[in-house]
Amino acid sequence: MTRLGALLAALPVLLTTPGYAHEIRPAYLDMRETAPDEFAVVWKVPAQGDMRLGLYASLPKPCIEKAEPARSIVDRAYLERRTVACSGGLRGGEIGINGLKSTMTEALVRIEYENGDTEVVRLVPDAPSFVVAGAQTSLEVAQTYSSLGVDHILSGLDHLLFVLALMLLIRDRGMLVKTITAFSAAIRT
């Protein structure tokens, strides 16, 4: 059976089953050092209407808020913006997400230091906290984002069917890689 024949044979099954698409909406903690030991913090948590997940960012003990946080719900997300001063910096301190253990979601933490160094950590219910290292290599950052993307693709039937359809329709492996790359880049814009 040809690839096109296999796709055409599967088409009736795909058309008679309800569509299924899943989303990935992890919590997101973004910290940017704006002055020595001072960070602009954005905390984003999935929400539906006025209800949000009961997740709360826990920063290292020396971090104190400089003002009351600004809170809002925008585009199905609860947003909290604040500025914190962390005496002695973040390195060696523990950042955690309270409430993560009782969910099925994840949290992504991104810290950008004044000198340009970056640290990105993926927190999961089994490991809801980490000790801040202070910087990561570009490879370590890429590995974090790659593992998040691969898990998302493998956990969604819609993604697997899309990749299967591409494999059936596009015979040239180089063209297949270009097509998948172009599709992934188009989603980001």
pLDDT: is 22 or 30 the higher one? 30
Residues 8-28, mean pLDDT to the nearest whole number: 61
| Confidence at residue 22, expressed as pLDDT on a 0 to 100 scale | 45
When the pLDDT of each residue in the chain is averaged and rounded to a whole number, the result is 81
Domain boundaries, the chain: 3-22+156-188, 27-136
| Confidence at residue 26, expressed as pLDDT on a 0 to 100 scale | 86
Q: What is the pLDDT of residues 60-106, one digit of tens each?
A: 988 999 989 999 998 889 999 999 999 999 999 999 999 999 888 88
For the full predicted model, state whether its pTM sits above 0.75.
Answer: no
| Confidence at residue 185, expressed as pLDDT on a 0 to 100 scale | 64
| Confidence at residue 7, expressed as pLDDT on a 0 to 100 scale | 57
Q: What is the pLDDT of residues 174-184, one digit of tens each?
A: 888 888 777 76
| Confidence at residue 149, expressed as pLDDT on a 0 to 100 scale | 64
pLDDT: is 168 or 148 the higher one? 168
Lowest pLDDT segment from 15-19, 109-113, 118-122: 15-19
| Confidence at residue 102, expressed as pLDDT on a 0 to 100 scale | 86
CA–CA distance, 60 with 57 (Å, rounded to integer): 10
CA–CA distance, 109 with 23 (Å, rounded to integer): 19
State the DSSP string of 145-169. HHHHHHHHHHT-HHHHHHHHHHHHH
99: closest CA among 65, 50, 57, 59?
57
Whole-number Cα distances in Å, 70 to 8, 43, 44, 45: 53, 10, 12, 14
| 70 close to 80: Cβ distance less than 8 angstroms | yes
Q: What is the pLDDT of residues 133-159, one digit of tens each?
A: 877 666 766 676 666 666 656 666 666
| 113 close to 141: Cβ distance less than 8 angstroms | no
